[in-house]
Amino acid sequence: SYPGSRHYPPGVAVPLVIDTDGGVDDACALWFAATDPRVDLVAVTVVWGNVSLEVATTAVRRVLHAAGRPDVPVAAGRATPVAGAPHLRAADFIHGLDGLGNAYLDADPPPGPPCQEPAVDLLARLLTERPGELMICTIGPLSNLAELVTRYPDLAGHVADLVVMGGSARRGGNALPVGEANIACDPTGAQQVVEAAWPSPPLMVGLDVTHQATLSPAEFDLLAEHRTPAAAFLDAPLRFYRQFASTRTAPDCPCHDLLAVMAVVEPGLLTEVPVLPVAVDCAGGPAWGATVVDFRETHFEHLEGSRQHTPSGFAPWRISLQADTDAFRAEVRALFGG
């Protein structure tokens, strides 16, 4: 288990709320969370990011319906960052116009009415009703969570554990030269989340590990066999996504959000997770949207008297640096019927 993370008894499904921006790797993560017995998917909140809020909300509801979980409430949240943010290219060349690799552009809307409760209100209600019980995993920009901790600062302390797919400690960026997409979409919101009063250091699952634990051609070959409903639904979206999502990892393909959600129930997928100070660059310059990790801490602790000043804005987080690629691929193959 990660240092400071909430321990759940063996055999007890982890009660989880996912905050997502409705892309292809999000769909993989949602399907896993909706169907794996180790997860109790309590609710899904939606934020803008990979696609617009409206498109993302429809994509999320479509995934949950196809996975046999239309009972999970889906609440729409913020459609914009909480403050000024870098201009980023629309991600439709990676996620498609429908957030699902253009595989379901012409499909009928998912049945049933969407949830009328706004995302932040839903989060606040659930955390008030179940203090200390719920884990939250964010797999999109942090705008919804930023609004939550700004409006209700005390509720950060009600979260059992927070896992954030976002950022990069050493791998540089993808949406920007040193800015990972989820952080770069809303750097100010991300910094507000970094500094909130969480009961234990949150976990950052960034490009350092999502570019290690990837899908190989073997997983795509298995996917094409459609052995499970998950494989049949995700095959076309993942093949669209693979074309540009694999830019820095080809022939392998990252599935960022799936690794983050799987790590909620299988912490051993992440093998090096030091607690280090982190902050987000919100200054508007070349490093806007970067997650700045202070690696000096690992050296200071061994040399008495060597500690230097840490600037304001840093907070201790668990920073994922190494992953077990074989174990991740084994989980993926299980999802695809291997």
| Residues designated as active site | 21, 256
- In angstroms, the CA 45 to CA 57 distance is 9
Output 125-131 pairs: Cβ under 8 A, ≥24 positions apart. 126/17, 126/42, 126/43, 127/152, 127/155, 127/158, 127/159, 128/155, 128/158, 130/15, 130/158, 131/158
Indicate if the alpha-carbon torsion angle 249, 333, 225, 30 is positive or negative: negative
Q: Are 40 and 15 in contact (CB under 8 A)?
A: yes
**Closest by CA position to 165, among listed 192, 191, 138, 145:** 138
- In angstroms, the CA 214 to CA 57 distance is 26
What is the token pair recorded at 317?
A: 């987080």
Q: Are 281 and 287 in contact (CB under 8 A)?
A: yes
- In angstroms, the CA 100 to CA 55 distance is 10
HSE-up (13 A, CA, CB side) for residue 120: 16
User: What are the backbone angles phi and psi of residue 204, rounded to the nearest 5°?
Assistant: -100, 120
Distance set, CA 71 to CA 112, 115, 175 (Å): 10, 11, 34
Cα angle for residues 211, 83, 61 (degrees, 5° grid) = 60
Q: Say which residue the tokens 């299988």 belong to.
A: 266
Strands 275-280 and 291-293, by their bridges, are: antiparallel
Cα angle for residues 264, 227, 250 (degrees, 5° grid) = 65
Sequence-separated (6 or more) residues with CB below 8 Å from residue 46: 19, 20, 21, 22, 53, 56, 57, 60, 74, 75, 76, 77, 119, 140
